Structure 1
Amino acid sequence: MTDGPPLIVTRPEPGNAATVERAMGMGFDARAMPLFAARALDWDAPPPEDFDALLLTSAAAVRLAGPGLVRMASLPAYAVGAATARAAEAAGLTVATVGSTDAGQLLDAMTSENIRDILWLCGRDRSEFDLRGAAITALPCYAVDPVPPPAEWMGLIAEPAVLLAHSARAARRISDLVGAARDHLSLVAISPAVAAAAGSGWHDIAIAGQPDDVAILAQARALWHKGAK
């Protein structure tokens, strides 16, 4: 596939390098073009006995939570996506359930188990969703800030290419940066909500079957083969 259009990976590090490496192993001409940088925030761990469970919607929350995460280790963790679950287990948390789609689907499973008081370790900028009647305390432990596009960005989007959007914020920023060039660009979103945030007018748009890196790259490969026909 290296003779096809480049695959532009926009997520922050360290995830960007991991996605690029995986994509190159699949034969993509993958380019690291991070549009954001993640950093830890100061936070105080609340008493774990005040909660029934942890909600984790991003592996970044686990990686950047710092020493306060240890105080939460007695709580069962509910993670969106396999990558988040792996990060949680590596940090010493007990993962009770892995959600395969989004936070709403995972909350349905949690409330069905009568889990009501939930601590959500999250980013400073986060998406809103239906709380399903649960009492959720959002505790930001990291921030993801925009950074200027790398120097090669303008040259890459001037020609056909496939871009990956791993979050709604990324999708909106990609959309703003490419402007009218989207008519010759394709985008692969990690979820339906991310695809919606990207807007319309793309040459092609596709959605990963699961909210993880393996699925988004599989969908990118399917999109590449579709365009090659």
Structure 2
Amino acid sequence: MSDGVPLIVTRPEPGNAATRARARSLGFDVHAMPLFAARPLRWTPPAAADFDALLLTSAFAARLAGPGLATLASLPAYAVGAATAEAARAAGLTVAMTGAADAQRLLDEMTSPKIARILWLCGRDRTVLHTGDAALAPLPCYAVDPVDPPGQWRALIAVPAILLAHSARAAERIAVLAGTARAHLSLVAISAAVAAAAGQGWRALAVAAEANDAAMLAQARALWHKGAK
């Protein structure tokens, strides 16, 4: 597939490099086009005893939280996706569950009478989660800010290509930057919610079966074989 349509990876680093490496090993003509950059925020860790569990919906929370994360290491961590779980373990946390879908699904699965007080280490910009009977305390410890598209962006989207959207914010921004070029572009979203954020007008819009790179690239391969080129 290396001689086919470009595969454009828009997520921030270091995830961008990891996705590119996996895609390249599968033969994609892959291009790094990060549209966001992550940075740590100042935050004050609360008392771990005030909570039953820690919710992590992005690997950035574990990577960028800094030394304050160690004060919460006694809490079982619930991570969305394998990459987030891996980052949590690398930061010294004990992962009790790794969700295979999205944050809402994981929250639904983890809430119980024994897990009623949940600390959510999250980004400054985050989705709204429905908590049910649980008490969810969002605590931003990082921010993901938009950056100017790399110089090759316009040339790459001027012709048929497949783009990957790893978040709703990414999908929204890709849609704005693509404009009318959506008619000849295909998009693979990491979840149904991300696909909804991308809007209409794409040549093809696919949703990964699971919230991970392997599933996204499987959809990209399927688009290729269906002729989205």
**TM bracket (short chain):** over 0.9
Question: Does the residue aligned with 1:132 lie in a helix, a strand or coil?
Answer: coil
Whether the 8 Å CA contact 2:10–2:16 is kept in 1: the answer is yes
TM-score, normalised on structure 2? 0.97
Partner of 2:133 in structure 1? 133
Please tell me the root mean square deviation across aligned C-alpha atoms, in Å.
1.2
1:28-177 pair list within 5 angstroms? 28-112=28-112, 114-177=114-177
Gaps of 5+ in 1: none
Change (3 A) 1:176 1:184: same
Aligned counterparts of 1:22 and 1:62: Cα–Cα separation in 2: 22
Cα displacement (A) at 1:90: 1.3
Structure 2 residue 221 is the aligned partner of structure 1 residue 221 = yes
TM-score, normalised on structure 1? 0.97
Letter in 2 for 1:155: A
Letter in 1 for 2:40: A
1:18-29 pair list within 5 angstroms? 18-29=18-29
Cα displacement (A) at 1:132: 2.0
Deviations 1:147-172 (A, max 9, x none): 00001000000000000000000000
Change (3 A) 1:228 1:173: closer
Question: Does the residue aligned with 1:112 lie in a helix, a strand or coil?
Answer: coil
Q: Following superposition, which runs of at least 4 residues in structure 1 exceed 3 angstroms of deviation?
A: none
Letter in 2 for 1:212: N
Aligned counterparts of 1:140 and 1:228: Cα–Cα separation in 2: 39
Letter in 2 for 1:199: G
Whether the 8 Å CA contact 1:54–1:121 is kept in 2: the answer is yes
Cα displacement (A) at 1:75: 0.1
Cα displacement (A) at 1:133: 1.9
Deviations 1:124-153 (A, max 9, x none): 000112112210110000000000000100
Gaps of 5+ in 2: none
Q: How many residues align?
A: 229
Aligned counterparts of 1:64 and 1:152: Cα–Cα separation in 2: 29
Deviations 1:97-133 (A, max 9, x none): 1111112211222223531100000000001121122
Partner of 1:10 in structure 2? 10
Whether the 8 Å CA contact 1:107–1:132 is kept in 2: the answer is no
Whether the 8 Å CA contact 1:206–1:219 is kept in 2: the answer is yes
Q: Percent identity over the alignment? A: 70
Cα displacement (A) at 1:228: 6.5
